[in-house]
Amino acid sequence: MCYRILLALGGQMPHSFLNGFHNAYNVWYKTTFWGISAVLYCLLGLYGSMHSPGPFSHSVILKVRKGETVPVISQHLYDLGLIRSKFLFSVYLRYTQKDRALKKGQYVFEPYMSEAYIADAIYKGFGIYYRIFIPEGYTNLRIAENIQKYSFLEKDKFRLPPEGMLYPDTYKIEGGTTYSSFISLMQNNMEKNLKEAWQKRVPNLYFKTPEDVLIVASIIEKETNIPHEKHLIAGVIMNRLKRGIKLQMDPTTIYGITKTGVLGRPLKLSDLKRKNAFNTYYISGLPPTPICNPGKSSLEAAVNPVWTSHLFYVATGRGGHAFAETHEHHLRNIEAFRSVLNSGKK
């Protein structure tokens, strides 16, 4: 277009037009230069501010909840004295594209940590992790009572699964995990381990369903903590059920009384006569549900019982149990146990 104008003017550009063009170019150049310089200056200033030592001189714990937005998190940080400016921190998150994926959890920040580190920690999820030990043999109620003692877990409404469906283990848990999330984790873990145990069951296993295996494993868990004995006790349970003999196992009766598995006193004769679904001195067969949450070794024993003729066992008083095929042999083992107890009282 400019070329055509020049041709129309005889190939010569007017002096006034040339001066105007140069003036416009100079204005554009200066404006662009100083604009870019200002932006770079701001960015460098922001970068320097974010990477300089933080404004706090003591350790601070921050809790980021699920769904919290950048303004909310920035406000928390500002209130805790971790950042100098909510606005600049938000701008930095947006500029570094970390504003889209901030992770929930609990974070601990040591004195003078930079705001850039804080942003990176929340973006990458460098939160605090805790270990929770869930013992083998705890009932659902005992586990629920136990986890509510941990202040780093976030309170919420939760529903316990059926008894026996919380896997005992040591769990590495992020601070701020809710009760319900932790319970779901334990339940998923039990489902996984029960499935694995069931897939490894011996051929022609007497216990026909994973649910029965879980019940048997829970009884084994409460009867002994000696690994090789667990397989023997699984065999005794199997043999008694095959012959239609009542299990007559104390832990099931205790569970029927307390639902926590802890009685706090010896069983009485009247307890053994109670009419409830868990009193295996009264009912035939297995109780209707597990009586605790069994661990891996008890699950493995339930799907791989030792094939013997044993129908009875009793504590030896020295650790472990004495097994017997006949009632007469069992009575002798009981007498031996009483002798050990009496000798200890002298």
Residues 213 and 330 in one domain: yes
Residues 119 and 248 in one domain: no
CATH number at residue 114: 3.30.1490.480
The conformation of residue 271, written as its DSSP 8-state character, comes to H
Closest CA to 330 of 344, 343, 315: 315
Task: Answer yes or no: is 293 within a domain.
Answer: yes
Number of compact structural domains in the chain? 3
Which SS3 state, helix, strand or coil, does residue 178 take?
strand
Which SS3 state, helix, strand or coil, does residue 109 take?
strand
Residues 185 and 99 in one domain: no
pLDDT in tens, 46-104: 667 788 898 989 989 899 988 899 999 999 999 999 999 999 899 889 888 998 889 88
Task: Answer yes or no: is 50 within a domain.
Answer: no
Kindly tell me the number of DSSP H helices and DSSP E strands found in the chain. Answer: 13, 6
Residues 235 and 318 in one domain: yes
Residues 120 and 136 in one domain: no
Domain residue limits at 265: 206-345
**pLDDT for 46:** 61
Closest CA to 80 of 64, 98, 62, 104: 62
Task: Answer yes or no: is 18 within a domain.
Answer: no
Residues 136 and 96 in one domain: no
Tell me how far CA of residue 332 lies from CA of 51, 317, 338, 339, 340, in angstroms.
78, 14, 10, 11, 13
Residues 293 and 244 in one domain: yes
Residues 262 and 339 in one domain: yes
Residues 274 and 298 in one domain: yes
Task: Answer yes or no: is 277 within a domain.
Answer: yes
Write out the chain's pLDDT in tens, 346 residues: 444 444 444 545 555 555 554 555 455 444 554 445 444 445 555 667 788 898 989 989 899 988 899 999 999 999 999 999 999 899 889 888 998 889 888 898 989 999 999 999 999 988 888 999 999 999 999 999 999 999 889 899 999 999 999 999 999 998 889 999 999 999 999 999 999 999 999 999 999 999 999 999 999 999 999 999 999 999 999 999 999 999 999 999 999 999 888 888 988 999 999 999 999 999 999 999 999 999 999 999 999 999 999 999 999 988 899 999 999 999 999 999 888 878 765 4
Residues 180 and 215 in one domain: no
Task: Answer yes or no: is 9 within a domain.
Answer: no
Which of 72, 92, 124 is at the close of a domain?
Answer: 124
Q: Name the helix (H) or strand (E) containing 124.
A: helix 115-124
Which of 124, 141, 158 is at the close of a domain?
Answer: 124
